[in-house]
Amino acid sequence: MNKKKGKPSSDKGKKKNFKSGAAKYKNKNRQQKLSQKDTGLIRLNKYIADAGICSRREADKLIESGAVSVNGKVVSQVGTKVEPTDKVQLGTQTLKREKLQYLLLNKPKDFITTSKDPQNRKTVMQLVEKACEERIYPVGRLDRNTTGLLLFTNDGDLAKKLMHPSSSVKKIYHVFLDKNFSKNDMLKVAQGITLEDGIILPDKIAYVDGVEDKKQVGIELHSGKNRIVRRIFEHLGYKVNKLDRVLFAGLTKKDLPRGKWRFLTKKEIDLLKRL
């Protein structure tokens, strides 16, 4: 009986010791992480991405190719960490780790989505050029005659994530047509339209509430294909007189007049990163 009683007591002691050891291990890991954080070290690929050059994954490829140097020495080891004060160069270009900026523009008509235009046409960059010191770029594009929401950032990782074909970024457009949109064509679009580059299946399509005629349609989709909304309606014999993007990745035009911009809130940025 004593032996049987003794065994549970011994096992209990072992479990207690194991738990104590596990707790010490966790505390040690936590201390190491805090210590690393306190040093201010940052992964080299993140430094490059924060400089607005490219995404972290693309930065890893640049590092592996030997195109990146730190304090004058070529670094080709992925996972390398640097100090914020280190001199990081891509070729002969010295990189500056920038503050990440996120900006939303309500794009007006007749502005093209590009950084520079050889024909000297108006670009969206002119509308946000005084917004911040950092170099920001549009995420995706809206064609010249399309108005509405356009996101700008220097966060290369987020931009690539939002533009990726597999991205679940929701977009809603307000479409103004040259004639009434028939219920039969509404059904065709809802069931999927086959275009030259494949089938397009919108998430939702409906007439705009409160409008007497049937020339105004709302369409929700995830596709980022070029001129996709215009091509859907043109395929069915309609002309799009006006196209306005009213929602992008959960962001809306509320309190944002045409041609104006605003910075995203921390809550909005966090939501984008969780998409």
143 catalytic per annotation: yes
Query: What CA–CA distance (Å, rounded) separates 164 from 152?
Result: 16
Q: What is the identity of the amino acid at 218?
A: G
Q: What is the identity of the amino acid at 128?
A: V
Q: According to DSSP H, which parts of the chain are helical?
A: 2-39, 44-50, 56-64, 125-128, 156-163, 183-191, 228-235, 266-273
Biggest distance spanned by C-alpha atoms of the chain? 96
Both tokens assigned to 66: 């030997």
Other Cβ atoms less than 10 A from the Cβ of 253: the count is 19
Task: Exactly one of 110, 143, 213, 270 is catalytic; name it.
Answer: 143
* Cα four-point dihedral sign 226, 157, 269, 271: positive
Active-site residue list:
143
